[in-house]
Amino acid sequence: MNTRDPLRHLGPNWYATVMGTAIVASAGAALPVAVPGLRGACEAVWALAALMLLTLVTARALHWARHPDQARRHLGDPAVAPFYGCLAMALLAVGGSTLSVGTGVIGESAAVAVDAVLWTTGTVVGLGAAAAIPYLMVTRHRIAPGDASPVWLLPIVAPMVSAALGPALVPHLPAGQWRQALLLGCYGLFGMSLLATLLILPVVFSRLVHHGPLPLVLTPTLFLVLGPLGQSTTAVNAVAGVAPGVVAEPYARAMAGFAVLYGMPVIGFALLWLVLATAMVIRAARRGMGFAMTWWAFTFPIGTCVTGTAALAHRTGLTALTWLAVGLYALLVTAWAVAGARTAAGLVSGRLLAAPRPAPVAPLREMARTT
């Protein structure tokens, strides 16, 4: 066994780089304003995300082939296993951006085919992760009362990403049962992820209140809470957008109303959490928080808030929401550029693929008290 193989320590968390890159493209395409040159830039970012996905899927397959012991260890580690949800979301994010951005590059028929394959595969993988990871947490992992983390949201948010991106495929299906099945199936995925999120969020907040701030390296993961908030708002608006003519008119009108009545309060809470998470990150930075792959938590979750806010702006015509979406997109691009540059530097130096340092002996709650 070659312990110096850089692929040995390539974990599933690396798929977050694909998610964070693809959302830059799709969020840019969703903005309710026309920005000169933005379309071309989004196409370039989409192409980069697609290339990153191909590279990572290949590298992770080699990781499993060469280092099955390490791969099994990842599944047995409660801090790493939830990142298997990132694989599903990476597939879904690239598929969605292919249809929303890549159509002008590869053509509509090819974009639909690629999205259909990636959405189907990502949904199946996401449903598997949403069931398997909680099962492992209950039956195999040993989790202390102070170990709750926003990372737990990753596997259960994947079905919400499917719910948000699936409606774009509805018009490309035969009219009737096929379209209805996909539309209502996306609503089912929305509910599945939403209810699971409502189980986990109180546990995460309770951990913060009773055990103090997260360790410095994990502080950026507080932004993961924004993911189900922004993505669920995007999902209900996407479903409502294609509902007319697919479901009976009373339900189509109800879906449109629900999209606003649900989306506005949730985006409001997302802004509140954004302020809290930002304050915690500033606190951690003052105490010496260095770069880690957790910085990619700044990207995809903020991107979902961009798409959710942009969808509400389209539906309501409210100018304030338009500018909020633009402001959040500027924040997203900044976070992506910083995380991308630091990741590239870490890859060149070899630091990011080196063996991790031994974990401290003190439990997580003791670590939190010292940060």
* Tokens at 291, concatenated: 């770069």
Most confident of 24-33, 68-77, 356-365: 24-33
- pLDDT at residue 123 is higher than 60: yes
* Distance in angstroms (rounded) separating the CA atoms of residues 371 and 179: 52
* Distance in angstroms (rounded) separating the CA atoms of residues 205 and 98: 36
- pLDDT at residue 170 is higher than 90: yes
Identify the residue whose tokens are 């799709």. 26
Question: Residue 48 has what pLDDT?
Answer: 98
Mean pLDDT score of the chain: 92
Dihedral of CA atoms 156, 52, 296, 347 in degrees, nearest 10, equals 130
Phi, psi of 315 (to 5 degrees): -75, -35
Question: Residue 357 has what pLDDT?
Answer: 61
Question: Residue 6 has what pLDDT?
Answer: 79
Question: Residue 367 has what pLDDT?
Answer: 38
Q: How far is CA 334 from CA 13, 125, 330, in A?
A: 21, 30, 6
Question: Residue 362 has what pLDDT?
Answer: 41
Question: Residue 356 has what pLDDT?
Answer: 65
- pLDDT at residue 152 is higher than 50: yes
Contact of 60 with 91, CB cutoff 8 Å: no
Lowest-pLDDT range, 172-181, 205-214, 304-313, 357-366? 357-366
Mean pLDDT to the nearest integer, 83-108? 96
Secondary-structure percent of the chain, ordered helix, strand, coil, rounded to 5 = 85, 0, 15
- pLDDT at residue 44 is higher than 50: yes
> Using the 8-state DSSP alphabet, how is residue 149 labeled?
-
* Tokens at 340, concatenated: 């991308």
| Domain range 7-370, its CATH number among 3.90.320.10, 3.30.930.10, 1.50.10.150, 3.40.50.620 | 1.50.10.150
Contact of 207 with 144, CB cutoff 8 Å: no
Question: Residue 318 has what pLDDT?
Answer: 96
- pLDDT at residue 91 is higher than 80: yes
Predicted confidence band of residue 361 (pLDDT cuts 50, 70, 90): very low
Dihedral of CA atoms 252, 320, 308, 51 in degrees, nearest 10, equals 130
Question: Residue 29 has what pLDDT?
Answer: 95
Predicted confidence band of residue 358 (pLDDT cuts 50, 70, 90): low
Name residues whose C-beta falls within 8 Å of residue 147's C-beta, 6 or more positions apart in sequence: 78, 207, 363, 364
Mean pLDDT to the nearest integer, 275-288? 96
Name residues whose C-beta falls within 8 Å of residue 67's C-beta, 6 or more positions apart in sequence: 1, 5, 7, 8
Predicted confidence band of residue 366 (pLDDT cuts 50, 70, 90): very low
Name residues whose C-beta falls within 8 Å of residue 278's C-beta, 6 or more positions apart in sequence: none
Question: Residue 360 has what pLDDT?
Answer: 45
* Distance in angstroms (rounded) separating the CA atoms of residues 150 and 16: 14
Question: Residue 40 has what pLDDT?
Answer: 96
* Distance in angstroms (rounded) separating the CA atoms of residues 12 and 160: 19
